[in-house]
């Protein structure tokens, strides 16, 4: 049954995304940046609906008051990364337009990547670390000044459930350099949409948004330590079985 439900979700994804992407590509020249983002939000909302309808994957959000309390501030979101789910769901979860920092190879994905290339996101060349860091800082300042929130996954890639990969410091350093507020986010989506897995498992995803961490008076290294400590501690609170097993 799980295989069949996962197949139906996959079919909905591949039948819906290409024509929607074409619609976006045709529409984007006539839309401003926020309107383009709204179109992508609707796509994300649709995919999350298909996932719940076919696979029974639901979600709850804890700590949304922390995000709402800083909605008028410059914010850098640093999140746990276990799944493709959060990259889609976050489009509609936060109260501001998000600017993702992602590897440029994603731009080569047909339809999805083409649309992402027309949005004002930050894509980087991972093989050129020094120039990428400078690019993220410069572009990040501009996006924050434009009123967007920047989101990074400091682990750099999706990690297996129950694991802890050392966090990269780029996101915390960006927050420190721009004096942006940091919102740490933990979640357990990997249980239900595992990385590189065709199967999707029914259940309730928990997303936990932590208290805002001000960057004023702190170095990037201090922010990095605070963020990693909170996220990994919260992961062990919302998903203790996965960490107790290790």
* pLDDT for position 137: 80
Per the rule left: phi > 0, alpha: psi between -120 and 50, beta: everything else, 122 is beta
User: pLDDT tens per residue, the chain (246 residues)?
Assistant: 999 999 999 999 999 999 999 999 999 999 999 999 999 999 999 999 999 999 999 999 999 999 999 999 999 999 999 999 999 999 999 999 999 987 777 777 777 777 777 788 887 766 656 656 667 788 888 899 999 999 999 998 899 999 988 999 889 999 998 999 999 999 999 999 999 899 999 999 999 999 999 999 888 889 999 999 999 999 999 999 998 755
Q: What is the CATH number of the domain that holds 124?
A: 3.40.1130
* pLDDT for position 229: 97
Contact 168, 154 (CB under 8 A): yes
Q: What is d(CA 106, CA 40) in angstroms, rounded to the nearest whole number?
A: 16
168: how many CB neighbours lie within 10 A of its CB?
Answer: 17
Count Cβ neighbours within 10 Å for each residue of 126-150 and write b for 16 or more, e otherwise.
eeeeeebbebbeebbbebbeeebbb
The first and second tokens of residue 160, run together, are: 């297996």
* pLDDT for position 117: 76
* pLDDT for position 107: 72
Q: Which residues contact 204 (CB under 8 A, 6 or more apart)?
A: 58, 59, 60
240: how many CB neighbours lie within 10 A of its CB?
Answer: 10
Contact 185, 80 (CB under 8 A): yes
The first and second tokens of residue 67, run together, are: 């995000």
Q: How many CA atoms lie within 13 A of 11 on its CB side?
A: 9
Q: What is d(CA 76, CA 176) in angstroms, rounded to the nearest whole number?
A: 10
* pLDDT for position 105: 72
* pLDDT for position 134: 67
Instruction: Residue 185: give the domain boundaries.
Output: 2-244
Number of domains in the chain: 1
């Amino acid at each position: 049954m799980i295989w069949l439900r996962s197949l139906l979700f996959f079919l909905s994804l591949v039948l819906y995304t290409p024509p929607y992407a074409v619609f976006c590509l045709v529409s984007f020249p006539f839309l401003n940046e926020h309107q383009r983002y709204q179109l992508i939000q609707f796509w994300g909302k649709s995919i999350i609906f298909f996932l719940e309808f076919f696979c029974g994957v639901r979600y709850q959000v804890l700590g949304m008051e922390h995000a709402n309390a800083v909605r008028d501030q410059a914010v850098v979101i640093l999140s746990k990364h276990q799944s493709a789910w959060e990259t889609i769901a976050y489009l509609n979860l936060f109260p501001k337009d998000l600017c993702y920092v992602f590897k440029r190879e994603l731009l080569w994905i047909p339809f999805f990547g083409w649309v992402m290339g027309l949005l004002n996101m930050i894509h980087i060349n991972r093989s050129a670390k020094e120039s990428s860091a400078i690019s993220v800082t410069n572009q990040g300042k501009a996006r924050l000044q434009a009123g967007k929130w920047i989101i990074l996954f400091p682990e750099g890639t999706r990690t297996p459930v129950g694991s802890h990969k050392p966090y990269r410091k780029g996101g915390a350093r960006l927050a420190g350099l721009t004096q942006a507020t940091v919102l740490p986010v933990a979640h357990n989506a990997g249980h239900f949409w595992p990385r590189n897995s065709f199967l999707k498992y029914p259940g309730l995803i928990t997303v936990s948004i932590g208290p805002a961490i001000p960057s004023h008076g702190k170095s990037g290294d201090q922010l990095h330590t605070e963020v990693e400590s909170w996220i990994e501690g919260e992961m062990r609170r919302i998903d203790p079985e996965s960490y107790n097993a290790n």
